[in-house]
Structure 1
């Protein structure tokens, strides 16, 4: 899948989500950039991504506040990952701890072969409130196919996040 196609798909998805949402809904977008697979010197690459969370769909459970997420990223080597899953928001005052889990589809492009198109992303994020509608944060994730593919090298990444509510 080319970079242009991925951008078009994500733009259509996020535009449709915004148009179909109720007027009083609150959408959170997480714009992030960082280093994909930083622990592999031969495969490390810059990544850029976006994640969407519709706060109208969040639920308070016995585990805390859980919310669905959808997003994707692309690397400088044209590898791409699109995903949907959930995150758990732990409010600690001005600081928020957010672990998440999201299965998705990985396209290697000219990047690292992770062994399967179906991959699973586990992530932790810490974010700090800048204002009522903005946060900055750092996050770390691991993408792996849980050994369902012929190989499972996995990829470790870190990101810097700008989170904005609209």
Structure 2
């Protein structure tokens, strides 16, 4: 069931990006980790992906900024689908990438985060394996910014494989 939901999200994102993309200058970030690891009653394995169209990158005064779209699903059938932006800081063989992405959350049989609209703040460090592949580690916090009656938030960590194609 979880893989079926994740496959549907992946097909929707890839279909949408192919409709609007001018070429094949894309990056996919596949990740697996532990959702809400700091809450031992609600901790769950998560699997997800994120897409970045590198044609939409913009160099700014604070660095290279680009839009992202992605989603994840937990072993408890919680789903989070998001879109936002990331800031890529090139440090030689390493890249430091903070990001912010509002999204829609469905708790499934997992943790009630208090609202359907949630905000994901994340930091990632990745290491170049080749010109088109990276390995990384990331940490994020998902919270509704007190939009709901409750705002327990969730802290997660992930191991990432990034591939340009």
TM-score (structure 2 length as normaliser): 0.95
Query: For 1:78-128, what per-residue CA distance to the aligned partner results, in whole angstroms no more than 9, with x for missing partners?
Result: 000000000000000000000000000000000000000000000000000
Measure how far apart 1:18 and its partner are: 2.8
Q: Distance in 1 between matches of 2:67 and 2:92?
A: 22
**1:136 alignment partner in structure 2:** 135
Gap regions ≥5 residues in structure 2: none
Q: Distance in 2 between matches of 1:9 and 1:41?
A: 27
* Structure 1 residues 5 and 31: alpha-carbon distance in aligned structure 2, compared to 1, 3 A threshold: closer
Measure how far apart 1:10 and its partner are: 2.9
**1:40 alignment partner in structure 2:** 39
Task: Please give the secondary structure, in 2, of the residue aligned with 1:34.
Answer: strand
Task: Please give the secondary structure, in 1, of the residue aligned with 2:129.
Answer: strand
**1:117 alignment partner in structure 2:** 116
**2:65 alignment partner in structure 1:** 66
Gap regions ≥5 residues in structure 1: none
CA RMSD of aligned residues (A): 1.3
Measure how far apart 1:16 and its partner are: 3.5
Aligned length, in residue pairs: 164
